[in-house]
């Protein structure tokens, strides 16, 4: 008997420090301590994740004392960094092995033409978008591999903002001043205000090429994922996060022609071969050479606009203790080590507390 994704989600099986209680889509996810966990029962009785809310609303809930953790919204980053009232809280920032990109379906016209994809890269001022809109300490992307990942090349510069070159490339592709180019359909699933502002910026930059641009928001992730898998989205905003700190785990899933998560439907036999070779190479220096060559080819082929590398920026109540953050981001925070000190106790309390956190 096979189970659907939703059925597995409602009855997961695992051996971690917490056990599943319930999941209400767009509401909350509730976990409770696993008394039989092989490393010992975690300090927290439960972990409650609030789901589906906006960053701005959850931040307000945090300041009211209803959440133990919150994402710092992009329009509050400077405030949190400079206003003395936030010194009472714990603010954690950590670059992560991740990439946010605006991808193209490279198998459909006109995005099957490399010149079009390159033109879009030159047309968008990614630095301005990241520094003035995205913020959240995000790092403007240059290539595919983020800083901290083996194989990351600090000398890769990416695409500079060059609207004149963008127009020349678009004309070479047969669309002078955008003439004859179909309406650009730019999709996202995120409803965050900063995301909407990012998309509006893309719309302005591409409009300057003479294009008509429409921004669309999918209602939820399952619908969005289905559209991505069917190749129904010609241009879309998406992120990839490393599961392990290895360049193969980062590049193969999004670039190999056989990968089910290759949402751009990118196809390059040379890249496939290099990725296959990298998966078998035992010498780390040799692997770095292979993956840097992948990055060089992909930069030229431009299956996406690499926008930024995420930086985890979270704010915690002062009584939250034991938080450890790695380059793998919030998904790898060991919840089993977290405990709450709502008194002046100097040692971890018995398991009597719960933590609420937005996701």
Over residues 41-67, the mean pLDDT reads 89
Whether 143 contacts 151, CB under 8 Å:
no
Q: What pLDDT score was predicted for residue 170?
A: 98
Q: What pLDDT score was predicted for residue 249?
A: 95
Q: Mark whether 200 and 113 lie in a shared domain.
A: yes
In a domain, residue 289? The reply is: no
Angle, helix 247-255 to helix 284-301, in steps of 10 degrees: 30
Q: Mark whether 305 and 161 lie in a shared domain.
A: yes
Q: Mark whether 160 and 304 lie in a shared domain.
A: yes
Strand partners, 101: 238, 306
Alpha carbon distance, N-terminus to C-terminus of the chain: 32
Q: Mark whether 229 and 305 lie in a shared domain.
A: yes
What tokens appear for 53 in the block? 């809310």
Over residues 117-134, the mean pLDDT reads 96
The 10s digit of each residue's pLDDT in 244-289 is 999 999 999 999 999 999 999 999 999 999 999 999 999 999 999 9
The 10s digit of each residue's pLDDT in 7-30 is 666 777 788 999 999 988 878 889
Q: What pLDDT score was predicted for residue 114?
A: 98
Identify the CA nearest to 216 among candidates 230, 203, 226.
Answer: 203
Q: Mark whether 63 and 115 lie in a shared domain.
A: no
In a domain, residue 251? The reply is: no
Q: How many domains does the chain have?
A: 2
Q: How far is CA 16 from the centre of its chain?
A: 24
The more confident residue out of 275 and 1 is 275
Whether 134 contacts 102, CB under 8 Å:
no
Angle, helix 269-280 to helix 284-301, in steps of 10 degrees: 160
Residue 320 CB: number of other CB atoms within 10 A?
Answer: 21
pLDDT band, very low/low/confident/very high, at 296 (cuts 50, 70, 90) = very high
Q: What pLDDT score was predicted for residue 346?
A: 44
Q: Across the chain, what does the average pLDDT equal?
A: 91
In a domain, residue 288? The reply is: no
This prediction has a pTM of: 0.86
pLDDT band, very low/low/confident/very high, at 351 (cuts 50, 70, 90) = very low
Q: Mark whether 72 and 104 lie in a shared domain.
A: no
Residue 139 has pLDDT above 90, yes or no: yes
What tokens appear for 332 in the block? 């790898």
In a domain, residue 295? The reply is: no
Q: Mark whether 129 and 212 lie in a shared domain.
A: yes
Q: Mark whether 25 and 84 lie in a shared domain.
A: yes
Identify the CA nearest to 100 among candidates 226, 161, 184, 189.
Answer: 189
CATH number at residue 124: 3.10.105.10
The 10s digit of each residue's pLDDT in 177-209 is 999 999 999 999 998 888 999 999 999 999 999
Percent of the chain whose predicted confidence (pLDDT) is above 70 = 93
Whether 226 contacts 5, CB under 8 Å:
no
Q: For residue 127, what are the domain limits?
A: 98-242+300-309
The more confident residue out of 121 and 77 is 121
Q: Mark whether 45 and 108 lie in a shared domain.
A: no
Over residues 281-307, the mean pLDDT reads 97
In a domain, residue 269? The reply is: no
Determine which of 142-156, 169-183, 344-358 has the lowest per-residue pLDDT on average: 344-358
Burial class (CB in 10 A: 0-12, 13-18, 19+), 68: buried
Strands of the 311-316 sheet, one edge to the other: 69-71, 311-316, 90-95
Over residues 343-356, the mean pLDDT reads 44
Q: Mark whether 48 and 127 lie in a shared domain.
A: no
Residue 126 has pLDDT above 60, yes or no: yes
In a domain, residue 46? The reply is: yes
Identify the CA nearest to 200 among candidates 124, 139, 141, 140.
Answer: 124
In a domain, residue 253? The reply is: no
Over residues 36-53, the mean pLDDT reads 89
Q: How far is CA 119 from the centre of its chain?
A: 24
Q: Mark whether 47 and 114 lie in a shared domain.
A: no
């Amino acid at each position: 008997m096979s189970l659907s994704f939703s059925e597995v989600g409602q009855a997961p099986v695992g051996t971690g420090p917490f056990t599943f209680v319930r999941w209400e889509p767009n509401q909350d996810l509730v976990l409770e301590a696993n008394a039989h966990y092989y490393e010992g029962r975690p300090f927290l009785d439960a972990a409650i994740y609030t789901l589906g809310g906006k960053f701005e609303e959850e931040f307000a809930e945090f300041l009211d004392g209803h959440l133990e953790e919150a994402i710092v919204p992009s329009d509050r980053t400077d405030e949190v960094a400079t206003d003395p009232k936030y010194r009472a809280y714990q603010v954690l920032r950590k670059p992560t092995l991740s990439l946010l990109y605006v991808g193209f379906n490279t198998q459909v016209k006109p995005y099957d033409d490399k010149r079009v994809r390159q033109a879009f890269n030159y047309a968008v001022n990614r630095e301005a978008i990241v520094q003035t809109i995205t913020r959240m300490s995000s790092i403007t992307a240059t290539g595919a591999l983020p800083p901290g990942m083996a194989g990351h090349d600090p000398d890769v510069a990416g695409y500079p903002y060059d609207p004149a070159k963008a127009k020349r490339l678009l004309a070479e592709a047969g669309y002078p001043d955008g003439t004859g180019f179909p309406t650009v359909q730019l999709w996202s699933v995120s409803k965050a205000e900063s995301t909407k502002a990012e998309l509006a910026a893309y719309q302005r930059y591409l409009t300057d090429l003479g294009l008509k641009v429409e921004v669309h928001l999918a209602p939820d992730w399952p619908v969005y994922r289905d559209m991505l898998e069917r190749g129904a989205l010609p241009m879309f905003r998406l992120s990839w996060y490393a599961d392990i700190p290895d360049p193969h785990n980062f590049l193969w899933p999004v670039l190999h022609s056989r990968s089910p998560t290759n949402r751009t439907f990118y196809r390059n036999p040379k890249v496939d071969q290099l990725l296959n070779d990298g998966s078998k190479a035992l010498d780390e220096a040799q692997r770095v050479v292979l993956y840097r060559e992948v990055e060089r080819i992909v930069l030229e082929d431009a299956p996406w606009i690499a926008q930024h590398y995420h930086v985890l920026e979270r704010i915690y109540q002062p009584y939250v203790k034991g938080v450890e953050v790695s380059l793998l981001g919030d998904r790898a925070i060991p919840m089993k080590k977290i405990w709450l000190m709502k008194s002046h106790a100097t040692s971890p309390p018995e398991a009597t507390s719960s933590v609420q956190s937005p996701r």
